[in-house]
């Protein structure tokens, strides 16, 4: 038992040594979230406490994925994932950054598109380099697969936001105020839509809500999120294309692409040689 415990301790120490920067970021963010959780509990803000507990669970996902699937996450990717979770849950939800900081939501969705494309690209590239697989995918096909993977994740998230708003009475799909509306419902036929311009107010249940325009519920927010996700996905797909084209010579792409530990160890030996 002692030998096993010593072996596990050495293994854990080696992991910390190899991923020193990631470990420091993980500990700092975790301590901060715990402090916020304790403060929320003392003040009876149990919803905030739930977000803190959820964040702590999400923080463990990268290390869980490494152990479960025997993959190696680059330090840069893992640190960005940790900051992404922190920015979305603690700063975004508890700190109110989604409404207080302009383009905060757009920034996170763009980053999400970029990261999901990296993960999708890695999954495809691992399969592509497997000797047991009889077919090989071209760099262009790998890039397209990564793009489609990222966009699919983005669409599924928008589905989640929609169902939460409908069934849980949340407001994840934020409202937008628009000045002009084109409507076939108000027109004579679908071939003759009516354009309503310079909308000055929106009335709900006979009450003017003080909005200088038409209150769009969710559509603009959804399309904006998908568009910035598209930008992030396209950006990494292009980077990934040239990464495979040059067979891994691109240092920038390496910082975001997870690899099987067996392949990663082999590449390390090749680099030293």
Residues across the chain: 273
**Nearest by Cα to 104 from 80, 116, 85, 87:** 87
Average pLDDT rounded to a whole number, residues 230-257: 87
pLDDT over threshold 90, residue 72: no
114 in a domain, yes or no? no
pLDDT over threshold 80, residue 83: yes
Looking at the structure, do residues 210 and 227 belong to the same domain, yes or no?
A: no
**Count of CB atoms situated within 10 Å of the CB of 243:** 24
87 in a domain, yes or no? yes
- CA 206 – CA 132 distance, rounded (Å): 67
270 in a domain, yes or no? no
Looking at the structure, do residues 6 and 31 belong to the same domain, yes or no?
A: yes
116-149 confidence digits (pLDDT tens) = 999 999 888 877 776 666 567 888 999 999 999 9
Query: What's the distance, CA 205 to chain centroid?
Result: 38
Computed on alpha carbons and rounded to an integer, the radius of gyration of the chain in Å comes to 23
When the pLDDT of each residue in the chain is averaged and rounded to a whole number, the result is 86
Looking at the structure, do residues 133 and 232 belong to the same domain, yes or no?
A: yes
106 in a domain, yes or no? no
The two three-digit tokens of residue 250, written as one number? 């691109």
* 11 — pLDDT class (breaks 50, 70, 90): low
249 in a domain, yes or no? yes
271 in a domain, yes or no? no
pLDDT over threshold 80, residue 189: no
Q: What pLDDT is attached to residue 194?
A: 87
Looking at the structure, do residues 67 and 91 belong to the same domain, yes or no?
A: yes
- CA 14 – CA 10 distance, rounded (Å): 6
40, 68, 101 — which closes off a domain? 101
* Residue pair 106/228 in contact by the 8 Å Cβ criterion: yes
Looking at the structure, do residues 131 and 227 belong to the same domain, yes or no?
A: yes
Q: What pLDDT is attached to residue 210?
A: 87
Looking at the structure, do residues 167 and 195 belong to the same domain, yes or no?
A: no
Question: Containing domain of residue 202, as a range?
Answer: 175-217
pTM metric for this prediction? 0.84
266 in a domain, yes or no? no
* 88 — pLDDT class (breaks 50, 70, 90): very high
Looking at the structure, do residues 184 and 164 belong to the same domain, yes or no?
A: no
Structural domains of the chain, count? 3
Average pLDDT rounded to a whole number, residues 217-223: 92
Looking at the structure, do residues 209 and 223 belong to the same domain, yes or no?
A: no
- CA 142 – CA 122 distance, rounded (Å): 9
Looking at the structure, do residues 204 and 136 belong to the same domain, yes or no?
A: no
Q: What percent of the chain has pLDDT over 90?
A: 49
109 in a domain, yes or no? no
Average pLDDT rounded to a whole number, residues 182-209: 84
Q: What pLDDT is attached to residue 147?
A: 96
Looking at the structure, do residues 19 and 50 belong to the same domain, yes or no?
A: yes
Looking at the structure, do residues 222 and 210 belong to the same domain, yes or no?
A: no
């Amino acid at each position: 038992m002692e030998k096993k415990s010593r072996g596990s301790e050495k293994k854990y120490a080696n992991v910390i040594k190899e991923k020193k920067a990631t470990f420091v970021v993980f500990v700092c963010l975790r301590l901060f979230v715990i402090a916020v959780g304790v403060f929320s509990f003392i003040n009876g803000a149990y919803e905030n406490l739930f977000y803190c507990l959820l964040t702590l669970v999400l923080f463990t996902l990268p290390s869980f994925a490494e152990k479960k699937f025997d993959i190696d996450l680059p330090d840069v990717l893992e640190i960005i994932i940790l900051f992404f979770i922190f920015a979305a849950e603690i700063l975004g939800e508890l700190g109110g950054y989604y409404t207080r900081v302009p383009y905060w939501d757009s920034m996170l969705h763009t980053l999400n598109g970029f990261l999901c494309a990296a993960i999708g690209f890695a999954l495809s590239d691992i399969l592509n380099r497997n000797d047991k697989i009889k077919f090989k995918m071209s760099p262009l096909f790998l890039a397209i697969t990564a793009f489609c993977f990222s966009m699919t994740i983005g669409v599924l998230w928008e589905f989640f936001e929609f169902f939460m708003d409908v069934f849980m009475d949340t407001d994840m799909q934020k409202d937008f105020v628009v000045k002009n509306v084109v409507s076939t419902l108000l027109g004579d036929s679908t071939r003759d839509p009516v354009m309503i311009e310079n909308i000055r107010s929106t009335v709900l249940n006979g009450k003017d809500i003080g909005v200088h325009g038409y209150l769009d519920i969710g559509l603009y927010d959804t399309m904006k999120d998908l568009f910035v996700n598209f930008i992030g996905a396209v950006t990494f797909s292009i980077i990934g294309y040239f990464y495979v084209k040059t067979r891994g010579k691109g240092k920038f792409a390496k910082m975001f692409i997870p690899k099987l530990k067996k392949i990663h160890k082999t590449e390390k030996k090749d680099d030293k040689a």
